[in-house]
Amino acid sequence: MRRERALKIVLVLVGLLFTALVYPLVLFVKQEPALAMMLSLYVTLGIFLLLASSNPSANRSLIAFTAWSSFAHAAVMGLQAFRNLIPRGELIGVAVLIVIGVALIALAPAKSIDRVLAAVV
């Protein structure tokens, strides 16, 4: 019960964080179109995470996608920072994405035995 409540809190916090990216999205539309495009994906994901917080068990794949895509994004950003393609200050974002991924994987709802049995039968 505590784990599900913690997951709901994490989903709301991450959902709000990602949805808040709508502000920089609006600012970067003309200046940095590629960044604006990426931010639009995060804003959309944030909205769906907020919706998923009401029933995390039914949204396991969305939670897994958010966690693993956070790891992938962190890996790319980390590599870019160490190769001096982006400023080293971006490593803060890497840390945030890793924390998000770890929290979501650690709190992810287990597969329901009913779903496992239905897939087998």
Provide the domain count of the chain: 1
Give dist(CA 35, CA 31) in Å, integer: 9
Instruction: For residue 60, give its domain range.
Output: 2-120
Give Cβ neighbours of residue 29 (< 8 Å, ≥ 6 apart): 36
Give pLDDT tens digits for 4-38: 999 999 999 999 999 999 998 888 888 888 888 99
Instruction: Provide the pLDDT for residue 96.
Output: 96
Count how many residues are written for the chain.
Answer: 121
Give pLDDT tens digits for 64-73: 999 999 999 9
Instruction: Provide the pLDDT for residue 1.
Output: 77
Instruction: Provide the pLDDT for residue 101.
Output: 97
CA dihedral sign, ordered 111, 15, 73, 95: negative
What is the torsion angle, in degrees rounded to the nearest 10, for the CA atoms of residue 57, residue 60, residue 64 and residue 70?
A: -60
